[in-house]
Structure 1
């Protein structure tokens, strides 16, 4: 029903069912993991009005057991989500549906708990783990365009301020702005246009 993906690793579809509505993935060597993708396999949808709360657990040496943290949720109309786990703090956690089950030492876990959608909407994920909603490539491109324009604009001079320099080529800032607007428009229309 669910899958879990960490960059550089094989997709995990071997969730351990710990209760009729609870599933857990083991993540060995979690210290090097920055983001986790949790998704539905597309074979079995959630029952109507239900979704899956996604939790993350570090092994907690202080308590001897796992401490679970709510990351967010997935649902039939939101079948996948990316969660940032690299900034989460060991030992910080709250209420969770997984009870006192033990995890293997030095193995983190991702849990999915099937719950009513209205209950999922009222839960607050742990700070810093919000699902990524911005396309990374688009965000990078926007930041790059802003940086180029700001950098080029910092050298702007009026025609009256220009001094002749035979070894220098000057480009009107309106040309850079036109390129910026065209690139931004094309990126919004098709984020992969640059691959053609």
Structure 2
């Protein structure tokens, strides 16, 4: 139903359902992502053929580790909908920071041990991405609060207009290319669903074949998603 791409890493498909409704349909899912090496953004997208029920969407939450590597509370970072099947979301995972210079030799030794333990815990820390299918009326206020928070932070830190535009274009292009690459490959394997007239399905094997091809492309040319496609330029 969903997949995740962390730049520079293999596409994640090992989604876990964390609840079950009486009808057998899950509405809450999770991905476990190693926090190291650090990353600042990730892409979440709907797999081809996935459609939300009317007036619903997917709320995206993230749980990042604190400096000791322990998990913090989940926080809302965005949403997907039928009209927005993919998105790039920011990730902020705090790193261990020194607590000040110890004054005595014993304190220095204690501090070194503490920092070593914290670094070891952080190295094995996991970021949990939570996806919850929720009514659109529940997601809308969270999106509004998120946008307001972003605007307030933007007022404190002014970014040159050219840089902001360049970031927006690059993330949009990256999301479009991941989804477009998958859709173009999988579309040729779509078959009519005998149970639902007018619907098409794609086998999981076809998705695995797409990812194997996509991964080989990344191995051979890690920056191909970042380059502007001359054929796409107006």
TM-score, normalising length from structure 2? Answer: 0.46
State the shift of 1:62 in Å. Answer: 7.1
More helix by share: 2
> Residue 108 in 1 paired to residue 127 in 2?
yes
Distance 1:74 1:138 in 2: 14
Structure 2: gaps of 5 or more residues: 20-25, 96-123, 154-164, 174-227
> Residue 59 in 1 paired to residue 80 in 2?
no
**Contact 2:67–2:94 (Cα < 8 Å) also in 1:** no
> Residue 136 in 1 paired to residue 157 in 2?
no
Distance 1:82 1:47 in 2: 23
108-117 or 118-127, larger mean C-alpha shift: 118-127
Structure 1: gaps of 5 or more residues: 91-104, 140-189
3-state SS of paired residue (2:168): coil
Per-residue CA distance 1:144-185 (angstroms, 9 max, x = gap): xxxxxxxxxxxxxxxxxxxxxxxxxxxxxxxxxxxxxxxxxx
Q: Output the aligned Cα RMSD.
A: 3.6
**Contact 1:60–1:67 (Cα < 8 Å) also in 2:** no
TM-score, normalising length from structure 1? Answer: 0.55
State the shift of 1:191 in Å. Answer: 7.2
**Contact 1:56–1:108 (Cα < 8 Å) also in 2:** yes
3-state SS of paired residue (2:32): strand
Alignment match, 1:192: 230
Max radius of gyration: which structure?
1
Distance 1:112 1:12 in 2: 14
- Compared CA separation, residues 46 and 30, structure 1 to 2 (3 A): farther
Per-residue CA distance 1:32-89 (angstroms, 9 max, x = gap): 111110110023211111100011111347795442111100011100000121x465
Moved beyond 2 Å, runs of 4+: 59-66, 87-90, 124-129, 190-196
Distance 1:31 1:137 in 2: 20
3-state SS of paired residue (2:73): strand
- Compared CA separation, residues 2 and 89, structure 1 to 2 (3 A): same
Distance 2:65 2:29 in 1: 17
Alignment match, 2:51: 45
**Contact 2:70–2:125 (Cα < 8 Å) also in 1:** no
- Compared CA separation, residues 30 and 83, structure 1 to 2 (3 A): farther
Alignment match, 1:36: 42
